[in-house]
Structure 1
Amino acid sequence: MNLLLLSNSTQYGRGYLAHALDTVTGFLPPKARLAFVPYALADHDTYTGRVRGALEGAGIGVRGVHEGDDPVAELAAADAVFIGGGNSFRLLSALYRTGLRDALIKAVGGGLPYMGASAGTNMAAPSLRTSNDMPIVQPPSFEALGLVPFQINPHYLDPDPASTHKGETREERLTEFLEENDVPVLGLREGSWLRVNGERAAVQGERAARLFTRDASPKELPVGSDVSELLSCEPRFDSPAR
């Protein structure tokens, strides 16, 4: 697998993809034809135009998979694919509906470079179960692409000890997930990303990541951490709580 999984596409005070632009352009093949999947947002044309504007200066040609008659054919004609952020449930529902889910699994498994941001990064995991999003639609299944065998939580937020908010923190929600499922969860803070190249995986970007596993305290993973061992984990969903 050749994956670039961004926590976020927009960093505070910067333009779209600006915080990771060197990494993105280094990841994509030179003068690539990039298939963009805009289904996580409702306005596909505007979303595709935003991506095109961010990457055209680097010589990357962006075409939305919705711009032709057949999204699967658009994917097949591309040198790489980028799935943007938005609502993960709406996105996965569209991947099933268009046939792109199976096509993506096959294409990326065959070597097509895959870039995701936020909801697009959620798609790379086995399941939607660690998404932060509201289920505004009901996809046929929570099963995502399974490009990696562990879960990812983009936009991970640390607990704020000074907060008076009584709702669950992100840490508490992920702990609840691990009470029911035995699958590592990689929390990607804003400004961080995961780079997977074959059998190697590493945390990159501007901020450390946080790893959650069952029956263990969360572990800080500084930028540069090798997390290749996660690629060989065996996820177990819906296991009895211990």
Structure 2
Amino acid sequence: MMATKKRLLLISNSTLHGGGYLGHCQDHIKKFLGEQIKRVLFIPYALHDRDAYAKMARQKFESLGYGLDSVHEVPNPVYAVQQSEAIFIGGGNTFRLLKALYDNDLISAIRSKVFEDGVPYIGSSAGTNVATISIHTTNDMPIVYPPSLHALGLVPFNINPHYLDPETNSKHMGETREQRISQYHEEPNTPPVLGLREGSMLLVEGNKATLLGVTGARLFLRGKPPSEHEPGQDFSFLLMQS
């Protein structure tokens, strides 16, 4: 298997019930970025009010000891990505985010920085969705239309952030999250889907992937029953998907 430099921290959610923005994962972020990195490039495209979003992200990262630049504030987004030390893409609407990444020619720029230069990538919610093969398994409404549903492809599978288990006593008659993912896998040649519950995240370092956080994950493989996994699970085998 070919070695890779990529380093990813793919977080299910930005805010965990009872806590503040990125509070539940801030220790993981600090450990992931380390002391060598001084500034993070933030991509706020998933929300409409990019100024307010950047302000919130900047306050958080500065409290952790990192400077933050927002890509929407610079004249040349591609150049900003090319010069970045680390990249953080936050949550919001995944369709809006992916369209903006295409509109600003950032798909190949981000891929190059991650795969070739080993620049750390942090994604949360929608930012985690776009790190995968496609956004087919997002929970969001298609409020805008990106030119393709194909995403960054930093991992060879899909993720469903904010994964919800069925509620036994619920009177809701719509499909459960598990049923919707099963419908996705009724289509041919669909990749695995990792359902990340809120409070969980996937750390990818080279060819190794590990489930972190305080909640488990549910793995869906086409043609097989879903399986349950606890924090600490080695998911490196998912990186070997063709």
TM-score, reference length from structure 2: 0.95
Question: How far 1:32 sits from its partner (Å)?
Answer: 2.1
> Which residue of 2 is the match for residue 8 of structure 1?
13
Q: Which deviates more from structure 2 when the two are superposed, residues 72-81 or residues 138-147? A: 72-81
> Which residue of 1 is the match for residue 147 of structure 2?
140
Instruction: State whether structure 2 residue 175 is matched by structure 1 residue 171.
Output: no
SS of 1:66's equivalent? helix
> Which residue of 1 is the match for residue 196 of structure 2?
188
Q: How many residues align?
A: 234
Paired with 1:150 and 1:127, the residues of 2 have a C-alpha distance of: 8
Question: How far 1:49 sits from its partner (Å)?
Answer: 0.7
> Which residue of 2 is the match for residue 202 of structure 1?
210
Counterpart mapping for 1:218-233 below 5 A: 218-233=226-241
Report Cα offsets for 1:65-89 as digits up to 9, x if no partner: 0111011112222210000000000
Question: How far 1:57 sits from its partner (Å)?
Answer: 1.9
Instruction: State whether structure 2 residue 58 is matched by structure 1 residue 49.
Output: no
Paired with 1:67 and 1:61, the residues of 2 have a C-alpha distance of: 14
Report Cα offsets for 1:182-233 as digits up to 9, x if no partner: 3110000000000000000011001011000112111011100001000011
Q: Is the 8 A contact 1:152 1:187 kept in 2?
A: yes
Q: Is the 8 A contact 1:29 1:79 kept in 2?
A: no
SS of 2:185's equivalent? helix
TM-score, reference length from structure 1: 0.95
> Which residue of 1 is the match for residue 42 of structure 2?
36
Q: Is the 8 A contact 1:82 1:115 kept in 2?
A: yes
Q: Which deviates more from structure 2 when the two are superposed, residues 1-10 or residues 181-190? A: 181-190
Taking only aligned residues, the RMSD between alpha carbons, in angstroms, comes to 0.9
